[in-house]
Structure 1
Amino acid sequence: MSATTAVSTAAEARRVRRYHLALIGVALVILTLSLVRVIAGTPDLTSSGTVAAALGLAVPIGLAGLGGLWAERAGVVNIGLEGMMVLGTWFAGWAGYQWGATAALIAGLIGGALGGLIHAVATVTFGVDHIISGVAINLLGPGVTRFLSEVLYREGTPASQAGAGITTSPTLASNPPRVSLPLLSSGPDWLGSLEAQRWFLLSDVAGILRGLTHQVSVMVILAVAMVPLSYFVLWRTAFGLRLRSCGENPWAAESLGVNVYLMKYIATMISGAFAGLGGVFLVFVTTKYVEGQTGGRGFIGLAAMIFGNWRPGGLAVGASLFGYADGLQLRSSQAVTGLFLFGALLLLVYAGTRIRALLTQDAAGHGGPGRYTAIALSALAAVVFLWLWLTVDDLPNEFVYITPHVLTLLVLSVASQRLRMPKADGVRYRRGEQH
């Protein structure tokens, strides 16, 4: 066997092992949620309604995160996702009330891409600091949309007669269709019947599957499909390799004939288009544009991308956790207290795995006293969460709102792997310069 074949085989084995570990992790999370649901008596933890709400809340965050992923893999830091998402919402609302869902989708993509183009001109062509340009986009987006609303939606215009105001557009002429799985999620609705039985694990799996397949918007299906599609394009095509090389070492890419400027422009405009697509989804949810409806989801998407280590799979997990936390607190305040028990169990599992790794390292002579810190902190946090679950019956509304986010950040921090951003992310590039 040649050295190249051996390396390829080893890489494939590692990839398969990661997939297996991911599937095992998903199974353990579902099993733990089912156990917590039975012990705490909180059916909303795995109900189809919670899962459907979580999916809807995760989609705009995930799309914004994908936008950040595309730009930063090409070496362009994009914290202007929020402003690009705002542009997407306004253009989707403006086109949607006149020509329907398809026009809203196209207009939202164009609006977000225009924001990406402005960011690319500033950072790639003129060398403006990426953070400053992103902040400017976040300020420009709401300002431009408010100006356009003042011009097009003021009193006396046709739009105002159709129900528009300075801060809102008329209702969309049409929304994208919704689909369900025959027999399983509609008609006889076998998954719904199984969920209603409240059996351990089986009902929980049925509730999760029904939430993912019952009356799902075509827009959600499109958004979810963007995650594997982005992975395929960026990691399995020559175009993706060239784009990622611009984020790792643009001077080396230039020496191999890659048009770095063009790649950065393309990536940043695609980034804006993804953010605009997230804005389109918000417009479809509310059936119209409403000023301020993004609610900081662009920033949350950026955080999910970083927690996901600049990879689509990790980003999807981060967005799902944020969406689940939001969906749960909207569905039931009592179920939020069940997250204390869930967090305690996860932390105990994490502490157990660290202890096992520590024992292995000690046996090999590689252990150290500093390695006990993470175990001690995890065990202490698990005890605190367990105590809160045992003593707190009903959380005040203020704590209900913040608790899921705190627990989500904790889980993401514990579960995240060692972060590695693209080496040339945010680096000013000039053709022909020596680096």
Structure 2
Amino acid sequence: MSEPRPADAAPAPATRRRRSARTWLLFLGAVFVGLVLLRALTGERAITSSGTFGATLALGVPIGMAALGGLWCERAGVVNIGLEGMMIFGTWGGAYGAYTTGNAWVGLVVGVAMGALGGLLHAVATVTFGVDHIVSGVALNILAPGVARYLSTIVFLGHEGGGANQSPPLPGFPKVSVPGVDGPLGDLEGHGWFFVSDLAGLVRGLTTDLSAVTLIAVALVPVTWFVLWRTAFGLRVRSCGENPYAAESLGVRVYTMKYLAVIISGGLAGLGGVFLAMVGSSAYQENQTGGRGFIGLAAMIFGNWRPGGLAAGTGLFGYTDALQQRGATGAVHALLLVLAIGLFAFAALQVWKAARTPAAAGEAPAPAWRRFLRPAVAVVAGVLLLVWYLLTDELPKEIVTYSPHITTLLVLTLASQRLRMPAADGLRYRRGEGH
């Protein structure tokens, strides 16, 4: 007979998973309710329209694939700054495969393979030769645009619609919609009813006119969670990112696991590049990634190196990008109010934590100014944003254009205190050195 669990024992893993799932559901529900209230308060229909949610999903796919690639890589202990370069390889590879064969699916395979090739280069440099991970990633980001331009000159230049910096028009992927949803939900959304029409806009945006690549990308998030957290292979990969020498002592082939993880990382980033060239656009263009590899890296860090948090960060960045690209300047202006409220909530949470957290044994309590400095800064920033919102009707065009990047900086600043990267992430590994 098993002994009863002590009252102060940590909850079982299954209990923690259920609590985590409930927490995420409550968080997502609260975010949606907040958007509904914001829409009702400001009258900006774009905040919860089906077009905005559909664009959020589409714009989030390349960011999410880059983030997912970063997750695989860094869970194995390899920092991947080169996600942008791997995405560039994916954009060109997808265009090359699709144009030369006339088949979009061949383009998908070639783009993923080109991204994986970029991952292989990064793995050779960092895992085999011990090159600094940041240096290798930066070199890959410099190399990829030059290689893509050189190959475009050879393959696309001289063909109708093609050139040294773009490909001719490419075939597209089929689109999928849930049958019988578009019409009824479109009618409900058009009525403008509180919450009901907003919910109809959300469901309609996420279930109609979806590219087949979008469905594949969305499915890869739970697949990654299952493989990394529910299989022996995933445990071996994660052990390499936490303590490779302990993993080595248990028989794990650390070099092999790192190579596989980095190559998978490149393939996922390449898939994001294919999406940009063949779903987000109808042709490959130079500089098409536009820094999305770096935003994907930020989304992965925001998500605390976990698929669920990564998806939430991707949605946030995709949403702000969707408002900006759809020209919803009034909705972007309304986000000032959201940021102000978020800063006030953050300040209240920090004060609550400071009041509840006792000083460590043998240590004097921290001065009050130090404990309440971050909440005070958040309150001041929130007040300034609130005043800005109340005194203006729209934001300058430059701020609207860069709102996704500004959101990235703000979110990472506020989330930095709760992050925990894999313990051996970025460290040089050599077999036998840990003994």
In the superposition, the TM-score normalised over structure 1's length comes to 0.92
Describe the shift of the 1:413–1:19 C-alpha distance in structure 2 as closer, same or farther (beyond 3 A): farther
Shift of 1:406: 2.4
Per the alignment, in what secondary structure is the counterpart of residue 286 of structure 1? coil
Shift of 1:377: 2.2
Shift of 1:402: 2.9
The partner residue of 1:269 within 263, 283, 304 is 263
Q: Note the alpha carbon deviations across 1:197-216, whole angstroms, 9 max, x for none.
A: 11222221211111111111
RMSD: 2.3
1:230-309 counterparts in 2 under 5 A? 230-284=224-278, 285-309=280-304
Which residue of structure 2 lines up, in the alignment, with residue 62 of structure 1?
64
Work out the CA distance in 2 between the residues paired with 1:367 and 1:22. Answer: 32
Shift of 1:416: 6.0
The partner residue of 1:316 within 311, 334, 346 is 311
Describe the shift of the 1:219–1:8 C-alpha distance in structure 2 as closer, same or farther (beyond 3 A): farther
The partner residue of 1:340 within 316, 336, 343 is 336
Which residue of structure 2 lines up, in the alignment, with residue 177 of structure 1?
174
Which residue of structure 1 lines up, in the alignment, with residue 93 of structure 2?
91
Percent sequence identity over matched residues? 54
The partner residue of 2:155 within 115, 129, 152 is 152
Q: Which runs of 4+ in 1 moved over 6 A?
A: 3-8, 365-368
Deviates more, 1:347-356 or 1:395-404: 347-356
The answer as to whether partners of 2:117 and 2:266 remain within 8 angstroms in 1 is yes
The answer as to whether partners of 1:282 and 1:294 remain within 8 angstroms in 2 is yes
The partner residue of 2:208 within 195, 203, 214 is 214
Which residue of structure 1 lines up, in the alignment, with residue 52 of structure 2?
50
The answer as to whether partners of 2:302 and 2:411 remain within 8 angstroms in 1 is no
Work out the CA distance in 1 between the residues paired with 2:173 and 2:299. Answer: 27
Describe the shift of the 1:4–1:146 C-alpha distance in structure 2 as closer, same or farther (beyond 3 A): farther
Work out the CA distance in 2 between the residues paired with 1:222 and 1:294. Answer: 20
Work out the CA distance in 2 between the residues paired with 1:17 and 1:416. Answer: 22
The answer as to whether partners of 2:321 and 2:403 remain within 8 angstroms in 1 is no
Describe the shift of the 1:405–1:17 C-alpha distance in structure 2 as closer, same or farther (beyond 3 A): same
Describe the shift of the 1:219–1:417 C-alpha distance in structure 2 as closer, same or farther (beyond 3 A): farther
Shift of 1:49: 0.9
Shift of 1:165: 1.3
Aligned length: 426
In the superposition, the TM-score normalised over structure 2's length comes to 0.92
Shift of 1:337: 0.9
Which residue of structure 2 lines up, in the alignment, with residue 425 of structure 1?
425
Which residue of structure 1 lines up, in the alignment, with residue 223 of structure 2?
229
Work out the CA distance in 2 between the residues paired with 1:152 and 1:40. Answer: 51
Which residue of structure 2 lines up, in the alignment, with residue 140 of structure 1?
143
Per the alignment, in what secondary structure is the counterpart of residue 426 of structure 1? coil
1:402 aligned to 2:396?
no
| Residue type of the alignment partner of 2:151 | L
1:379-394 counterparts in 2 under 5 A? 379-394=379-394
Which residue of structure 1 lines up, in the alignment, with residue 163 of structure 2?
165
The partner residue of 2:40 within 29, 38, 41 is 38
Work out the CA distance in 1 between the residues paired with 2:130 and 2:356. Answer: 50
1:105 aligned to 2:108?
yes
| Residue type of the alignment partner of 1:312 | P
Work out the CA distance in 1 between the residues paired with 2:282 and 2:14. Answer: 45
The answer as to whether partners of 1:124 and 1:265 remain within 8 angstroms in 2 is yes
Shift of 1:12: 2.1
| Residue type of the alignment partner of 2:256 | L
Describe the shift of the 1:361–1:166 C-alpha distance in structure 2 as closer, same or farther (beyond 3 A): closer
The answer as to whether partners of 1:336 and 1:404 remain within 8 angstroms in 2 is no
Work out the CA distance in 2 between the residues paired with 1:275 and 1:337. Answer: 32
Which residue of structure 2 lines up, in the alignment, with residue 198 of structure 1?
192
Work out the CA distance in 1 between the residues paired with 2:44 and 2:11. Answer: 46
The partner residue of 1:326 within 304, 321, 344 is 321
Per the alignment, in what secondary structure is the counterpart of residue 164 of structure 2? coil
Work out the CA distance in 1 between the residues paired with 2:263 and 2:290. Answer: 22
Per the alignment, in what secondary structure is the counterpart of residue 168 of structure 1? coil
Q: Note the alpha carbon deviations across 1:317-359, whole angstroms, 9 max, x for none.
A: 1111111111111221111111011122222333334444455
Which residue of structure 2 lines up, in the alignment, with residue 74 of structure 1?
76
| Residue type of the alignment partner of 1:348 | F
Shift of 1:144: 1.2
1:17 aligned to 2:40?
no
Describe the shift of the 1:15–1:87 C-alpha distance in structure 2 as closer, same or farther (beyond 3 A): same
Per the alignment, in what secondary structure is the counterpart of residue 402 of structure 2? helix
The answer as to whether partners of 1:308 and 1:416 remain within 8 angstroms in 2 is no
Describe the shift of the 1:3–1:326 C-alpha distance in structure 2 as closer, same or farther (beyond 3 A): farther
| Residue type of the alignment partner of 1:307 | F
Q: Note the alpha carbon deviations across 1:235-256, whole angstroms, 9 max, x for none.
A: 1100000011111111111111
Work out the CA distance in 1 between the residues paired with 2:366 and 2:27. Answer: 26
Describe the shift of the 1:348–1:322 C-alpha distance in structure 2 as closer, same or farther (beyond 3 A): same
Describe the shift of the 1:142–1:4 C-alpha distance in structure 2 as closer, same or farther (beyond 3 A): farther
User: Any unmatched runs of 5+ in structure 2?
Assistant: 359-363
Shift of 1:222: 0.7
Shift of 1:9: 5.3
| Residue type of the alignment partner of 2:45 | P
| Residue type of the alignment partner of 2:421 | M
Shift of 1:11: 2.6
Shift of 1:396: 2.2
The answer as to whether partners of 2:228 and 2:235 remain within 8 angstroms in 1 is yes
Shift of 1:45: 0.9
Deviates more, 1:414-423 or 1:219-228: 414-423
| Residue type of the alignment partner of 1:114 | L
